[in-house]
């Protein structure tokens, strides 16, 4: 029935509506009984006439009929749509849509199509809506076809493609028609052409369609039929076990069933005679071997079926061929589908590698932002600053506070970045002046002091902002992701962090290479004594350097806060990775920090890909690898020359 409806609808979609079209009410009067009490067989008659009429009011009638809103007036047999307007029942003329002023509710009979008829009407509506002027209805119809994937939908869908005005929806229709064609096209050549056209599509639904074409059923026979489309011969012991193979023989009635121990005991109990079974005294039936002898005696007398020995099982298995047979009988179609699926899977694997690389690059950008400030302070001053993570936390909370006063998220981020730098720069300078300057060349005391400061800053943040995570909302233009295909995608926030990391790399290189401050920092880093003799104040440089590193951490906090949770303990999530990045890359070197962040980011993502169910194990493996790496290259990837290299 649906095939007939589809054919009629396809014809209707290509025929223009004429001015002399037959009124809808006249068609319904011809089929009064079918409209009022429709059945799965009779509904197609009404559908055919509605389609042939080309009436625009046929579509709203079908919708109302499906929703059980059609009634018949008993006095004249006319059909109307019953709608509730303002809580009052109103009758609407099916041809004009005008409301009927006067009617007797008791004179109305409701048309009540059953579930099967309503589904048939729904299928017809989907096909009607493929060429509806409303793009929303066309999109809904395409989505409905994609969910059901029925053969009856191919013809009307293909017929609607040429007249589709929206280019995106037209592409979707073409793609969906290709998938339907791969499954249901009339000829093998058409199906093969549709399958070949899908070979460049990496989407999950295309792979599902090809897997449907390549669906197999397990078969067993003495020899595979020459007409069978065999997918693969199964090897005993590799593809299936001997037990599974013999079970298939039993299911196919190609071998006798096995006699279990319980079956043997039941048979022996039923055949006890004069204290013995098969000539074996009951008292001696206390072992499996004795019971087997008694059962074999009964079998020799024809009382019970014989046991199947291991040798007989092996012989039966060896005498048959076990294989997987394609559900699709045409080998040319399955060959084309297998070739297309193999090509798609190769491209999917390649794109998964690209996607993993983008994730690793994004993670490396985050680690670089978090560690670059630490690299400057640690490299120039040799200070192990355990409170570096708390400067990141301070920057993130600065962004949160700014958003409470500036509701425009784009503007708030623009304000928050320099403000976070200023606040954390000042905090870093204060920390260096009050604490760090008294602990130079005393690394253990510096570590303990900064660790205590980090705990104090965490508690201060808890007292001010509470223990719950605070939202740092990204602007709308950072929502969503840049999607290349169904496999490769990266969020806009990650792209923004990557761009910010590049900007900071360029900015820091400019400051260090092209400014007087950078020249003095490099001089103090390489040889503080010689720098002091040239009129440079190492104490001032250390203060500015510590403040600069802390300020950069604050900016990193704003960026990381857009991506991760903002809590008082968020700095602890990055302090370990920051130190690992600095040590692995090379202390006090910007390029070394970049190399270290890249190594750790790619290493972590690679380990997580190999062990996706246990991220804690991935962290452990990464730390072990870094420990081994430091054993062979203790100065990091890019070793620094000068004071730090000599220490």
CB crowding 184-200: b at 16 or more within 10 Å, else e: bbeeeeebbebbbbbbe
Label residue 564 exposed, middle or buried (CB < 10 Å: 0-12, 13-18, 19+): middle
The rounded distance, in Å, linking the Cα atoms of 366 and 359 is: 11
Q: Which residues contact 639 (CB under 8 A, 6 or more apart)?
A: 586, 589, 592, 645
Distance, CA of 502 to CA of 508 (rounded, Å): 10
> Which pLDDT score is estimated for 640?
57
Contact 575, 450 (CB under 8 A): no
Cα(304)–Cα(429) distance, integer angstroms = 96
Beta-carbon-side half-sphere exposure of residue 253 (alpha carbons within 13 Å)? 0
Cα–Cα distance between 159 and 141 in angstroms, integer?
14
Query: Which pLDDT score is estimated for 636?
Result: 76
Q: How much is the pLDDT for 646?
A: 47
User: pLDDT tens across 395-412, in order?
Assistant: 999 999 999 898 888 899
Q: For residue 631, give every residue at least 6 positions away whose Cβ sits within 8 Å of its Cβ, in sequence order, or none.
A: none
What is the domain partition of the chain in residue ranges? 2-197, 218-326, 349-646
70 φ, ψ (degrees, to nearest 5): -95, 130
CA 283 to chain centre: 66
Greatest pairwise CA separation for the chain in angstroms: 120
Sheet containing strand 99-100, edge to edge, reads: 99-100, 88-93, 79-85, 70-73, 108-110
Rounded CA separation 579/600 (Å): 11
Asked whether the beta carbons of 390 and 458 are under 8 A apart, the reply is: yes
Angle among Cα 181, 155, 53 to the nearest 5 degrees reads: 175
- Which is nearest to 602 in space by CA: 588, 573, 582, 581? 581
Closest Cα partner for 46 from 55, 160, 98, 203? 55
Q: 565, 570, 597, 583: which is closest to 365 by C-alpha?
A: 597
State residue 421's pLDDT score.
92
Helix, strand, coil content of the chain in percent (nearest 5)? 65, 10, 25
Rounded Cα distance, 56 and 24, in Å? 9
Per-residue CA distances from 565 to 60, 467, 469, 614 (Å): 50, 12, 6, 21
User: For the chain, which residues score pLDDT lower than 50?
Assistant: 1-21, 642-647
Residue 85: strand, helix, or coil: strand
Q: For Cα atoms 444, 449, 453, give the angle at the middle one, nearest 5 degrees.
A: 150
Rounded to 5 degrees, what are φ and ψ at 230? -80, 130
**Tens digit of each residue's pLDDT (9 = 90 or more) over 99-140:** 887 788 888 888 888 877 777 777 677 767 787 788 888 888
Segment holding 218, helix H or strand E:
strand 216-221
Q: What is the DSSP string of 483-494?
A: ESSSS-EEEHHH
Contact 129, 137 (CB under 8 A): yes
Separation in Å, CA 295 to CA 250, 265, 271, 273, 283: 21, 9, 10, 14, 15
Give the chain's length: 647
Return d(Cα 342, Cα 360) in angstroms, integer.
27
* 184, 38 Cβ separation under 8 angstroms: no
- Report DSSP state, residue 303: S
3-state secondary structure of 82: strand
Torsion of CA 450, 451, 454, 459, to 10 degrees: -130
**Runs of H (alpha helix) within 216-330:** 242-251, 261-270, 288-300, 310-318
- CATH for 349-646 is 1.10.3470
Between CA 233 and CA 91 the distance in angstroms is 67
What are the backbone angles phi and psi of residue 73, rounded to the nearest 5°? -85, 125
3-state secondary structure of 260: coil
Burial of 424 (0-12, 13-18, 19+ CB in 10 A): buried
For residues 377 and 552, what is the distance between their CA atoms, to the nearest angstrom? 11
Asked whether 28 and 43 are in contact (CB, 8 A), the reply is no
Q: What is the DSSP letter of 481?
A: E
What's the alpha-carbon Rg for the chain, to the nearest Å?
A: 39
Amino acid 441: pLDDT: 77
Nearest of 388, 403, 397 to residue 552 by alpha carbon: 388
Question: Which of these, 53, 112, 54, lies nearest to 82 by C-alpha position?
Answer: 112
Spatial separation of the C-alpha atoms in residues 418 and 425, rounded to whole Å: 10
CA atoms of 434 and 313, how far apart (whole Å):
87
What are the backbone angles phi and psi of residue 80, rounded to the nearest 5°?
Answer: -140, 165
The number of angstroms, rounded, from the C-alpha of 204 to the middle of its chain's C-alpha atoms is 10
pTM here is 0.69
Looking at residue 425, the DSSP 8-state letter turns out to be H
Rounded to whole angstroms, the Cα distance separating 1 from 40 reads 8
Give the pLDDT score at 339. Answer: 93
């Amino acid at each position: 029935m649906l095939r007939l409806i589809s054919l009629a609808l396809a014809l209707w979609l290509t025929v223009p509506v004429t001015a002399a079209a037959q009124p809808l009410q006249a068609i319904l009067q011809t089929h009064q009984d079918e409209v009022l009490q429709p059945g799965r067989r009779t509904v197609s008659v009404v559908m055919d006439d509605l389609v042939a009429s080309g009436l625009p009011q046929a579509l709203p009638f079908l919708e109302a009929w499906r929703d059980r809103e059609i009634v018949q007036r008993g006095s004249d047999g006319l059909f109307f749509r019953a709608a509730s307007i303002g809580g009052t029942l109103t009758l609407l003329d099916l041809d004009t849509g005008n409301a009927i002023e006067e009617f007797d509710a008791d004179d109305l009979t409701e048309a009540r199509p059953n579930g099967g008829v309503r589904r048939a009407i729904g299928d017809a509506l989907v096909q009607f809506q493929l060429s509806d002027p409303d793009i929303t209805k066309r999109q809904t119809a395409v989505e409905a076809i994609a969910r059901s994937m029925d053969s009856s939908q191919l013809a009307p869908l293909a017929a609607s493609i040429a007249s589709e005005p929206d280019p995106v929806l037209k592409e979707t229709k073409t793609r969906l028609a290709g998938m339907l064609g791969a499954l249901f096209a009339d000829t093998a050549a058409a199906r093969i052409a549709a399958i070949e056209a899908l070979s460049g599509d990496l989407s999950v639904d295309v792979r599902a369609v090809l897997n449907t074409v390549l669906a197999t059923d397990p078969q067993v026979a003495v020899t595979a039929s020459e007409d069978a489309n065999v997918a693969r011969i199964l090897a005993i012991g590799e593809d299936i076990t001997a037990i599974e193979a013999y079970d298939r023989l039993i299911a196919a009635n190609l071998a006798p069933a096995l006699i279990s121990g319980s079956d043997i005991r039941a048979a022996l109990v039923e055949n006890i005679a004069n204290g013995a079974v098969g000539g074996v005294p009951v008292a001696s039936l206390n072992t499996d071997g004795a019971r087997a002898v008694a059962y074999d005696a009964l079998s020799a007398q024809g009382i019970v079926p014989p046991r199947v020995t291991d040798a007989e099982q092996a012989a039966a298995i060896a005498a048959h061929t076990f294989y997987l047979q394609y559900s699709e009988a045409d080998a040319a179609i399955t060959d084309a589908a297998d070739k297309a699926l193999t090509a798609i899977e190769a491209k999917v694997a390649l794109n998964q590698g690209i996607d993993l690389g983008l994730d690793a690059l994004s993670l490396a950008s985050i680690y670089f932002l978090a560690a670059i400030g630490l690299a400057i302070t640690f490299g120039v001053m040799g200070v192990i600053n355990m409170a570096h993570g708390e400067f990141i936390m301070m920057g993130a909370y600065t962004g949160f506070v700014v958003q409470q006063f500036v509701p425009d998220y784009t503007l708030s981020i623009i304000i928050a970045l320099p403000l976070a730098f200023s606040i954390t720069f000042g905090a870093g300078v204060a920390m260096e002046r009050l604490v760090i300057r008294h602990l130079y060349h005393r690394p253990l005391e510096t570590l303990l002091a900064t660790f205590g400061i980090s705990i104090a800053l965490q508690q201060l943040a808890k007292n001010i902002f509470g223990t719950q995570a605070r939202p740092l909302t990204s602007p709308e233009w950072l929502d969503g992701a840049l999607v290349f295909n169904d496999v490769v995608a990266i969020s806009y926030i990650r792209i923004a962090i990557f761009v910010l990391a590049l900007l900071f790399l360029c900015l820091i290189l400019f400051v260090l290479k092209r400014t007087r401050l950078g020249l003095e920092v490099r001089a103090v880093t390489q040889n503080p004594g010689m720098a002091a003799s040239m009129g440079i104040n190492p104490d001032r440089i250390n203060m500015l350097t510590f403040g600069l590193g802390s300020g950069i951490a604050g900016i990193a906090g704003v960026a990381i806060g857009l991506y991760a949770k903002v809590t008082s303990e968020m700095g602890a999530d990055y302090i370990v990775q920051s130190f690992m990045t600095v040590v692995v890359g090379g202390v006090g070197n910007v390029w070394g920090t970049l190399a270290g962040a890249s190594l750790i980011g790619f290493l972590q993502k690679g380990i997580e890909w190999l062990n996706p169910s246990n991220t804690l194990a991935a962290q452990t493996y990464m730390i072990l690898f870094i420990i081994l790496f430091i054993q062979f290259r203790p100065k990091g990837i890019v070793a620094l020359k000068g004071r730090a290299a000599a220490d």
